[in-house]
Amino acid sequence: MKTRKLLAVLLTFALLFGCMQGVVFAADGTSPLSLAQTEITMLEGGDVTQLDLFGADAGDVTWASDDVKVARVSPDGIVTSVGIGSALITATAADGATASCYVDVITGDDMITNDVFYRDTDGNPIQSQAGNIQKFGDKYYWYGARYGSGITYYESNGAKTGGSNFQAVTCYTSTDLVNWDYEGDVMTSKDLNSRMTWWVGRMGVMYNAKNDNYVLATQFSGMLNSGESLDNGVLYAVSDSPTGPFKYASCDADLRELGCFSKGTGDQTIFVDDDGTPYLIFCSNGVTVPPYQQDPDNTLRERDIIYVGEFNEDYTHLEKITKVYEGNEEYGRSGGREANSMFTINGKYYLVSSDLRGWNSSPSFVMIGDSPTGPFTDMNGKPNSSLPMEGGVSTFSHVTQVSNFVKVQGTEDTLILFLGDRWSDMAGNGIGYNAWCPITFAEDGITPIFNDVSQFEIDLEKGTWSVGENNNYIHNPSFECDRVAGALGAIQSYVNTPNGWEVESTAGQVAQINYGGNRGTSAAEKEFQLLTDGKAYCSPIFGNYSWYHGYTKRNEGTDAYKTKTKQTITNLEDGSYTMYGWVRSSGGQAACDMYLKSGDQEYKASLANKMDDWTQIVLSDVQITGGQCEIGVYSDAAADQWVMFDDLALIKNVPVSAEASKAACKVNEPFSVNVTTSKYAQKPYLVSESGSGLVSTREAVDNGDGTATWTLTLSLGSKGDRTLSVYVDGMDTGLDVNIAVGTTSVSVEPDNEVKLISAKADKTAKVNEPFTATIQTSTSVAKVRLFNESGMGLAPTSCTYVDKDGVRTWTYTLSVGTPGIRSFNVKVAGSDMQWAEDTEALQVRITR
């Protein structure tokens, strides 16, 4: 338990001796408030838990998190994890009574989660931008820059700074690419041999076997102590250790001597080939090469030419450069590129660059060659051409600019990781400084594919990866890459269609980007704040942008409007999902819905209620069929009505099952319950009928298929037919375990056959209203259960049986929250709690 949590708990007990932990009474002693959970553990990056409240009407309670970088909470008590750390969630009633729950957010083993601030093993945000990862010995070393603006961005929840303010080169080490130890600052301003420092970035470290030392090469702008000025020159520093300190050794101040068009580099990255030979991948700096003239309306720098540089034997100077690409007008504004990097696999070399977007994110453009120095072509074999990598266009490489790549050779495959710089502090590209994604290859084995995932697990030994439990399948869900219209178009202040989405519009209505309210610094952002009456619509943890339906002063209109913002998602596994969205709304619309369509089913949540604060909207247990769905927001509204939405998510539900080891036991006799969960679950437990958690011992076994089976061993001191609820990490799974304690209500007849005779159910029912299934079995059946289409067991609201003439007739009452023609599978089990092979299918039409 962390120090602040321990102090708070001790204080609570001191003040409230004899009362429940986490409960504070109002000043007049009335309306005690309590939470079923006082401490929960969650997996970072979108894990969701509903906090259960007692003692007050939920409508009279407000919720707050003391650290929204760790976890946030909706107005109805839904907690969503954000980043690693600890947060206190507090519920406050109208009369002042409060109750609280501690939330510990952790990372899963071997799990990489994007759209958060990566943290080191001490829990501090990793400050490493414009960097590079190399492996020396059995460790990975991550070198990058810490900027003052990056610290400001983190501490202020996303306030853009517009500058860099170099402080130091940092070093982090890891053996698994997930858990990183901070090794300290390996080079500071005083180690640069400089009088003035304007920019330090895009560095990398090389091991020099000849000298048995480590050489750091970085881009540098400033003035050396010698009085020499460098404009994006290459500065070299050396150390006897990979963890520094690195001291100034030399510089390349003018690359024109080697045939470069410019004195310095535009952007650069260190690439180390499989044989250990390092290369510098870079583009020209500030060049306008006729006939590719710079657009007079575009203030971005031109990076028209890409070079590959080779070092001298000490790695302290470039001694040769090879031009491998010269911009053309076919793609982008001039075909110029920046943020250049390289990786190699299967004898091919991939030179990957970003489009010219300044600090903003970009698709990743690819050229392929047979050697580090080329020649290179695009994926179609066309020379002097680069094309955007498949999969990364809809989200601009998961809202990043390419930094470099890590290659892991495993026993089963070769893992290529794309390491992206988010540049949030300078461009407002969303939460976090870094975002990493795996690269795979098309059937030809050559064409690379960018896998746009928000969470994934890696297996370094095998060299493989898999999608994470909390992966968000929506592309550009927070609208953070929308300063740019289209994949290859010029930067614009306003765009009418968010990247990766489609907009249907009539009556002149268009969706508009929200430029972050009062956090914006650009003219366009300040203008939009005025257009929306100065309201700061943007949440403090969603990044700087959200999407908007409704007229603004910039887009005036007096007519009613209809519009839809939608996205089609493919390559999904069929099954049960949950859709989330954070919303603000004027209310009053004729129709305003967050929706999901899949197959012939449509699920909706109305947004037509007035919501002044950001509110989380949930569509639970939506069924995906045919491997795809359409999600979006639809508005049919008057001109003065609006809705804003942000941070949408589509998460696959993970099945949970629970089985008791016996159907009956004596009072205080130990028995066990096996609970199968996701392997990332931290704490399954059982809750009594009165809502109290039950003490048990827990042992977990990894099943090797992404799940784990927990054995909970406990005993019960009260007689009766007991129904125990199954919770996982603070959330009610909807599953129950039934056991007869000290009674004979469950007959145990091991010699009789466990048999399902018949099953029938009400033909129709309404959403969330009870319906009944009548199931006939042999008298040796100790348990019946209905399972939904995705194989999840459905807990009954009541389940009773009557024995007559050797037949046991069960009355099983339940309710479901999803409309449509629902299919349920009936299963039965004997006293050994093993499901019999006999099953029966039931269909019920569920209507609203």
pLDDT band at 717 (very low <50, low <70, confident <90, very high): confident
Are residues 356 and 295 in contact, defined by beta-carbon separation less than 8 angstroms?
Answer: no
Report the pLDDT value the prediction gives residue 76, as an integer from 0 to 100. Answer: 82
Residue 639: CB atoms within 10 A of its CB come to 16
Report the pLDDT value the prediction gives residue 490, as an integer from 0 to 100. Answer: 36
β-pair type (783-787, 793-794): antiparallel
Report the pLDDT value the prediction gives residue 484, as an integer from 0 to 100. Answer: 53
Q: What is the identity of the amino acid at 96?
A: G
Q: Give the CATH architecture of domain 747-848.
A: Sandwich (2.60)
Report the pLDDT value the prediction gives residue 774, as an integer from 0 to 100. Answer: 93
Report the pLDDT value the prediction gives residue 67, as an integer from 0 to 100. Answer: 87
Query: 488 pLDDT exceeds 70?
Result: no
Report the pLDDT value the prediction gives residue 389, as an integer from 0 to 100. Answer: 94
pLDDT band at 797 (very low <50, low <70, confident <90, very high): confident
Does domain 502-652 fall into CATH 2.60.120.260? yes
What SS3 state is found at 152? helix
How far is Cα 387 from Cα 382, in angstroms, rounded to an integer?
Answer: 10
Question: φ, ψ for residue 59 (rounded to 5)?
Answer: -70, -15
Query: 334 pLDDT exceeds 70?
Result: no
Closest CA to 260 of 314, 308, 313: 308
Are residues 796 and 813 in contact, defined by beta-carbon separation less than 8 angstroms?
Answer: yes
Report the pLDDT value the prediction gives residue 16, as an integer from 0 to 100. Answer: 30
Q: Percent of the chain, pLDDT > 70?
A: 84
How far is Cα 82 from Cα 105, in angstroms, rounded to an integer?
Answer: 8
* Each residue's pLDDT tens digit, 270-279: 999 999 999 9
Report the range of poorest mean pLDDT among 493-497, 685-689, 724-728: 493-497
β-pair type (166-174, 591-598): unpaired
How far is Cα 828 from Cα 784, in angstroms, rounded to an integer?
Answer: 4
Report the range of poorest mean pLDDT among 323-332, 609-618, 754-763: 323-332
The structure tokens listed for 805 are 């003439």
Residue with tokens 């059937």: 443
Report the pLDDT value the prediction gives residue 33, as an integer from 0 to 100. Answer: 82
Are residues 312 and 250 in contact, defined by beta-carbon separation less than 8 angstroms?
Answer: no
What SS3 state is found at 14? helix
pLDDT band at 525 (very low <50, low <70, confident <90, very high): very low
Asked if domains 502-652 and 655-745 share a fold, the reply is no
Are residues 816 and 788 in contact, defined by beta-carbon separation less than 8 angstroms?
Answer: yes
The structure tokens listed for 284 are 């020209």
Query: 400 pLDDT exceeds 60?
Result: yes
Write the CB contacts of 232 (distance below 8 Å, at least 6 apart in sequence): 199, 219, 220, 221, 263, 264, 265, 266, 285
pLDDT band at 58 (very low <50, low <70, confident <90, very high): low
Report the pLDDT value the prediction gives residue 321, as an integer from 0 to 100. Answer: 97
**Where are the chain's structural domains?**
3-106, 111-467, 502-652, 655-745, 747-848
* Topology classification of domain 655-745: Immunoglobulin-like (2.60.40)
Does domain 3-106 fall into CATH 2.60.40.1080? yes
150 vs 799, higher pLDDT: 150
Report the range of poorest mean pLDDT among 102-106, 190-194, 769-773, 831-835: 831-835
> Is the bond preceding residue 245 a cis peptide, omega within 30 degrees?
yes
Report the pLDDT value the prediction gives residue 160, as an integer from 0 to 100. Answer: 66
* Topology classification of domain 111-467: Tachylectin-2; Chain A (2.115.10)
Report the pLDDT value the prediction gives residue 826, as an integer from 0 to 100. Answer: 92
β-pair type (664-665, 731-741): parallel
